[in-house]
Amino acid sequence: MFVNFSMYKFFLWLLKLGSFINLYFLGQTVKYPLEFMDPHLLIPAQILFIVSAYRCFFPVNYVTNAVLHKSFFSSVFLTRFLATFVEVAYIYQFSYLIRLINSNQIPLVDVLSWLMVLQVVVSQFFVWGAILTQKQTLYFYEELGWGVIFFINAVVSAILYGSLGSLGAWKLLLELNLLFGALYLPWQYFHLKALRSRAMYQKINENMHTDISWSMLKQGLYQSIQVKNLTTHPEDWGGVIGMIWMIGYWATLIPAWLYLIIRTA
């Protein structure tokens, strides 16, 4: 799908509306009855709402250092630092929800839920490595980790859905896990193929076979803090795929999903 320069600029500015959506959700979490919600579910959601509001207002792209505003807050390093906490927190929330529904009935489910948390921590090392070394293949392994996480989430949800008797309010949340897995996993397969192709292209054309050195890491760190490519060109933001990812992750799907969890649990 073709998206021209002016359309993408309009989209990036429109993305700011996601900040207000996230701030609305955040405001609901400090009111009765959500303020008394289980903190294992509530705090990860609050962290995500705060950071997603920030990311909608100051979007950046890790690969190209693209920014909408040339500001201190538009920083790959700062954004990734905050996103690290967000991603670990909300996957922990998903895993905790699984254990809450399971109630120690199926030991394998509890083990797999903790494996989701372990995998998201591993993925943080890969994405930081990709940012600091500019090696595209590390983005592939990071995204492979996300595929593993949501595959596990779908599998344990299917086990609970088919094994437990009365699900009550949990039924909807398990169905959402299954629906997301059914839609996300095929998309992630093609996404991984595209990332693999990009990584292979980089190796062939940019002599990326060199070993990782302290000099390389320091240069990558400097670029992540200082380099800000002020652009609204679609290719610098990942095109339509990047647009869908930003809308879903920061502004709509993931924030609404976490809000539904704390409203339903």
Q: What is the pLDDT of residues 170-182, one digit of tens each?
A: 999 999 999 999 9
pLDDT at residue 253 greater than cutoff 90: yes
Coil/strand/helix, residue 105:
coil
At 195 the pLDDT is 86
Q: How far apart, in whole angstroms, are the C-alpha atoms of residue 3 and residue 65?
A: 20
pLDDT for res 218: 95
Among 152, 158, 151, smallest CA distance to 192 is for: 151
Q: Which residues of 91-130 are buried (b: 16+ CB within 10 A; e: fewer)?
A: bbbbbbbbeebbeeeeeebbebbeebbebbeebbebbbbb
- Of the CA atoms within 13 Å of residue 137, those in its CB half-sphere come to 8
User: Confidence class of residue 169 from pLDDT cuts 50, 70 and 90?
Assistant: confident
Q: What pLDDT does residue 255 have?
A: 98
SS3 call for 71:
coil
Q: Is the pLDDT of residue 153 over 80?
A: yes
Record the pTM. Answer: 0.94
Across the range 43-53, mean pLDDT stands at 98
Torsion angles phi and psi, residue 247, rounded to 5: -65, -50
Assess whether pLDDT exceeds 60 at residue 206: no
Across the range 68-73, mean pLDDT stands at 95
pLDDT at 165: 76
Distance CA 123, CA 251 (A): 22
